[in-house]
Structure 1
Amino acid sequence: MNRDEMIRSVPVHEYNGRPFFIRVTDIPDPWRAPFLKTLVGSQCPAFEGEGDLAYAWDWERWVNGRLCAAIGSRID
C-alpha cells in the first residue's frame, strides 16, 4: 500500500463542514500503534461517544513523514 492509499484507507470525518478528525480504530494495523506512539503528548479532538480520535491532518502528515515524535516513530 502506498502513502496515498494509506491516507485514503482511513475515513475523515467533518466538523462544521471541514475535514477534521479520524477515528483511531479505523487505522489499520500495523500503523495504528506507531501513529499513536507519535501522538503521545499531543492534543487530539474529543467528541462525546466517539472514542479515541486524531486530527485528520496529523494522520496525513504522519503518513507523509512530516509528523515525528522525539522517539523517532515514523513510517518509512
Structure 2
Amino acid sequence: MATIMAIEFDASNNRSKLWLETNSQLLVHAFTHPTIVHWTLYTKWMNCMKFKVNYKLVFVSGILKFQEILKV
C-alpha cells in the first residue's frame, strides 16, 4: 500500500521519476506480473501502472546487499 501511495503522490505532483527501495521480492515481482496483486488492491495498482512515471526499483536483501532488480 505504501508503494501505491508513493506512486499516486508523485503522479499528482507531476513528477516523472521515482526511486523505490524494498526488501519485498513480491513487490518487485508485482511490477512485471501485476496479476499477483491481491484483488482488494488490484484496481489501485493497475491505475498506478498507467501513470507515466519512470521507476527505479532497488531490492534490498536482509543482509543489506544492494541489487538492482528492475530498471524501466
- Which category of TM-score, normalised to the shorter sequence, fits these structures? under 0.3
TM-score, length of structure 2 as denominator length: 0.26
Looking at secondary structure, tell me which structure has more helix per residue.
2
- TM norm structure 1: 0.25
